[in-house]
Structure 1
Amino acid sequence: MAKHYLNVSQNKKTGTVTLTGSLRKRSYNRVTLLDMSQSMFVQTLKGIAKELCIPFEELRRAKFTQCEIGANIRTRIPAIDILPLVVDYAHYESNDNYIEKGTLYFNGTDRLLKLYVKDDEIAAHSFSEEKRELKKMSFDRLKAKGIHQLRIEFTMKTHRSFKNKGMDHIRTIGDLIDHYSELYDFWTKEINRIVIYNKLQYNEVDLSSKEKEIILGLEELGFFEFVDRYQDFCMSTTTTSKSAKSAKSDAFKEVRLILDKYFDRKEYNKFSLRIDVAKYLIGKSKQFKLNLPLLIRNLWGVSTLNK
């Protein structure tokens, strides 16, 4: 376990072999900033097949239960400062209990979004206190030079997660290999759904009455309390459950439009995050074959506010 984080077991009644653990950590033998490429994914699986005396084609037919789709992004401001700015993802329940320690969760029925300070996580999970201190000092020096690392990771909890995102055809390890590029496609589309709220920049004389109402509410109450109150108010003016649901969605859409229209361009904002991600993708495209134009479009893609 100290070397590869992988456990193998067999059900004696059914003969089913189960592999549990992190293939990424198995690949690199340590906690690392490196992301698993398609070629490394295949290389790792071939190594496992050889060690377990299983034909690779047989291993390709194995089903998987949980899949983490993520990447480590170099950000222009400290990653720990970005976490409080992330206020919504797909209307999932947020868990900020560990935000001061560098981790933020958005938990849904079929998938989980996890954002965390990757360099701090690497230092914290070193095997000895001496190595932890050395890595922390190394990363602190990098941070002092403006080099920060934020991990954005979506956990697909079951196959239903893939089905709900139009990837029902990805069922086995072999499917993951053959459709690896679709994981990048999914990842960039979902990043486009991350809502960031920092500061608003506007000229009050140019605002409509509705815009003034929303902006004043955001600035006085904060994002979460205002959105709750505003949605409740909009729903209270309806007469049916269907219209109430529609009013709630429209209320959130109105808030999103304000954030998109009047974000402070001098502060870290949603476009700052997308630019940092785009730089990551451009760097990766020089090493691996990616459909870069498609992935960049996904970051600024068609609005998913109604979903």
Structure 2
Amino acid sequence: MIDNIKITLRKFKGYLSDNPNLESHGKSFGSEIYRLYNHEGEDKGIYLLLKYNPEKKVLKIENSIRKWYLGGFSLLDLTEKSANRAFEKISNKIGITMDEFRKATFTQCEIGLNIRTRIPVGDIVPMIVRYSTFKRYQFACETVGFKGTDLSLKMYDKCEELLEHNKKYDKEAKRKAFDALADRNYNFFRIEFNMFDKQSFVNKDLSHIKNIGHILDNYLELYNFWTKEMSRVVLLNKLVMSKEMTPKQYVIARVLEIDGFASFERNCIKRGKGNVSSRIINEAIEIIQCFGNPTRYNTNKFKLDILKNLKRIKRKEGALDINLMNQNLFSS
């Protein structure tokens, strides 16, 4: 669940300058800069970035905890147990107790999962048309996202991202490996929420999560949050023009079919008043949910793929409540 995060340790009591686990990278704006590489070594380029202000005794730690602990090419996610082990390992490496580390606060935090889907990610991305009322963006057929004021949602082809961000000499071998996985219908879709600050947690009824200890003690609640938010994602595939449609629904369905949801939404906002345009957009979403072609990939099949993955995760995350996850996903 936990991925990229920005951690702040105040009244830091450790010693970094002579720490053999760290690589010094000079100073910047009054802070000493260090890199804590993972078990793969410096050549893989996976590290936690440490910024220490000796005057204020403040240590900041950035980058992906998941990649650092599991490896740069890992498709696994941190479970409750592995997250605890990851933070314990970091505390040991920087020379503080876990009790001290648990008191560290954090700001930006990514909460995400890698999901196996039954169809290629490139086919799914264009179909994802809505998440809440957030503004949509898309890069090619690999990434789709939605930006809000306190958080964002980003979904992308995980295999392509791994190839893009790793050393060139790895790419050929890894490309063959990922192509082999794709041939066996192993498609990996990364879905992550970026919480911008503490207010993001407050707004999602997670105000009690204020430091690293709270994250670890309430780790299963992150799945609860993630599945609730995923219930708000809408996919648009081919609509079935049914006799059960009202005349108004038929007109909206035809416009959706011709223009697509993004254009339909823009025109509603541009031409109508706030309440009127919101009502029409909600009617369009209802049409998508009710009259999407059941033989094609759609919102429900996407949610079923997510649920199937959560059942796999439960093998390692024993206390995960699958019935609750199911209710969360299909609540809207």
TM-score, normalised relative to structure 2? 0.83
Find out whether 1:183 has 2:213 as its counterpart.
no
| 1:157 match | 196
Q: Report how far residue 195 of structure 1 moved.
A: 1.2
RMSD: 1.5
User: 2 CA distance for matches of 1:248 and 1:159?
Assistant: 32
1:231, distance to aligned residue in structure 2 (A): 4.3
Q: Contact 1:66 / 1:155 at 8 angstroms: preserved in 2?
A: yes
**CA–CA separation in structure 2 for the residues paired with 1:220 and 1:30:** 42
* Structure with the higher fraction of residues in helix conformation: 1
* 1:296 Cα deviation after fit: 1.0
2:153 aligned to which of 83, 95, 113 = 113
Q: Report if the CA contact (8 A) 1:198-1:263 is conserved.
A: yes
Is the deviation greater in 183-192 or in 16-25? 16-25
Residue 148 (1) aligns with residue 187 (2): yes
Q: Deviations over 1:155-208 (max 9, x none)?
A: 1111111011111111100000011011000100111111111110132x4321
Cα pair 1:75 1:276 within 8 Å, conserved: yes
Q: Which residue of structure 1 lines up, in the alignment, with residue 278 of structure 2?
A: 249
Structure 1 gap ranges (5+): 236-244
Higher deviation after alignment, 28-37 or 223-232: 223-232
- 1:296 matched to which residue of 2? 326
8 Å contact from structure 2 (residues 51, 61) kept in 1: yes
Within-5 A mapping of 1:64-213: 64-96=106-138, 98-100=139-141, 102-129=142-169, 131-203=170-242, 205-213=243-251
Q: Do 1:4 and 1:27's aligned partners in 2 also have CA atoms closer than 8 Å?
A: no
Distance of 1:47 and 1:9 partners within structure 2 = 18
Aligned mates of 1:246, 1:277 — CA distance in 2: 33
Map of 1:220 onto structure 2:
258
Distance 2:184 2:62 in 1: 38
Q: Which residue of 2 aligns with 1:285?
A: 314
* Shift >4 Å, 4+ stretches: 231-234
Q: CA deviation at 1:135?
A: 0.8
Amino acid at match of 1:68: E
Residues 1:54 and 2:96 aligned together = yes
Give, as a single letter, the amino acid of the residue that structure 2 aligns with 1:64: F
The answer to whether the 8 Å contact 1:234/1:251 transfers is no
Question: What is the aligned-residue identity percentage?
Answer: 34
Query: Once the two structures are superposed, what CA deviation does each residue of 1:230-287 show, in whole Å capped at 9, x if it has no partner?
Result: 344442xxxxxxxxx3323222211111011100011110011101001001111122
2:16 is aligned to none
Conserved 8 A contact 2:241-2:253: no
| DSSP-derived class of the 1:138 partner | helix
More strand, by proportion: 2
* Cα distance per residue 1:39-59 (max 9 Å; x no partner): 111111111111212111111
TM-score, normalised with respect to structure 1: 0.90
Deviations 1:93-143 (A, max 9, x none): 1221x224x1222111111111111112223333242x2111111111121
- Give the superposition deviation at 1:209: 1.4
